[in-house]
Amino acid sequence: MSLYRLKGTAGAVINRNFDLERPVRIGADGSIPPSGNAAAEVVFADGRITLVRQGDTPVQVNGEAVDTAQLVGGDEIRVAGCRFMVQAPGLRPERILTEDAVRPRRSPWPWVIALALVIAALAVAGWRLGWFDKWIDAPTPAPAVDKQDSPSGGDAADPPQT
């Protein structure tokens, strides 16, 4: 297996890998192997990767039309609606993998835990201050009973007031 290869990144060749052990011919429609006339050929020889355009189909390397080009890892080849990325061992092109892209990502869990603690503290404070009383069905106290209105209440000696 070759360490040098083309990886399809768009079009009909997406997520397909093509080893450069042998020359790779790209069709005018971007297919590999070509279904008709070839648009380009990519060859790895003498430690160099070379692209040679064949035919009238436009071929772009990193957005520029070319007839021939020396390729390095990370170069993008466009033929018709298909795109390919040149992959080579040990090469990290700066325009593809910047420091921001390769730095390790921080875990979100410390922020999630901190947010949960803040929400819990606010909930406890709101409960203690009575912010949620209007949404909670608290038992209502029994109405106060006047002694005069009750059948057993009040003194019999007290005459009713009119």
pTM reported for the whole predicted model: 0.52
User: Does residue 23 contact residue 43 with C-beta atoms inside 8 Å?
Assistant: yes
pLDDT tens for 14-48 read 888 888 888 888 887 777 877 777 888 888 888 88
User: Does residue 51 contact residue 61 with C-beta atoms inside 8 Å?
Assistant: yes
Domain ranges of the chain: 5-88, 108-136
pLDDT tens for 84-115 read 888 877 655 555 545 665 567 788 899 999 99
CA distance 96 to 90: 14
Under CATH, which architecture does the 5-88 domain have?
Sandwich (2.60)
